[in-house]
Chain A
């Protein structure tokens, strides 16, 4: 089945630094990648939708200058948390659907970000 590889699985960074999270679709072409944030014991909150070769669409309340999304190819999308603060600490998950759209959405394994 479709696999989305997400790295890193866990990262600790200092306040003010930037962190990049990568998601790769391993055996299909992901025209669209979705980025979510999840707080403990809460459901997934959609942050943005990225389409290959175009600018990402951000959900209301999500700062696009803080959460930079790049989707330069059909198999790779990245989320960069810039000038991270402790309140950015969360679980970030990407999701993709293959180009044919005939199967469910596949999720990455998630990245736990801790900003100290």
Chain B
């Protein structure tokens, strides 16, 4: 079993839809959870950063972490064509900053106008 599982998609939704992106993981030591957005031929851009379990909201984006189920989600409300990108979940253990992130494979999202 891989440390982080993420459905690669592609996922295609109409403009205005609510998008749900998910990742599961196996390492219970993970405490930091992130969602990155990557446009084609660009570096990943940090969208959401959460510590341990709970919800975090930022504009149209909501991140949820359920450590008991080892499951994290990213919700995008009122999706826009500009949201079309690859979304990568990432996570790490608590440390001094030397531990690399463990990534999911990324989900390709297309929002159709």
Contacts and interface: CB of A to CB of B under 8 A. Distances in A.
Interface string A76-108: 000000000000000101010111010111111
Question: What class of interface size applies to chain B in its complex with A?
Answer: 20 to 34
A47 to B, nearest CB: 10
Contacts, number: 57
Nearest to A100: B97
A43 B46 contact: no
A43 B104 contact: yes
Question: What class of interface size applies to chain A in its complex with B?
Answer: 20 to 34
A34 interface: yes
Contacts of B103: 43-44
Interface in B37-54: 41-46, 49
Interface in B82-113: 88, 90, 92, 95-98, 100-101, 103-106, 108
11 contacts: A32-B98, A34-B100, A34-B101, A43-B88, A43-B103, A44-B103, A91-B41, A101-B95, A101-B96, A107-B45, A108-B43
What are the 7 closest A-B residue pairs judged by CB atoms, nearest first? A101-B97, A104-B49, A107-B43, A110-B43, A104-B46, A109-B43, A43-B105
Interface of B: 32, 34, 36, 41-46, 49, 88, 90, 92, 95-98, 100-101, 103-106, 108
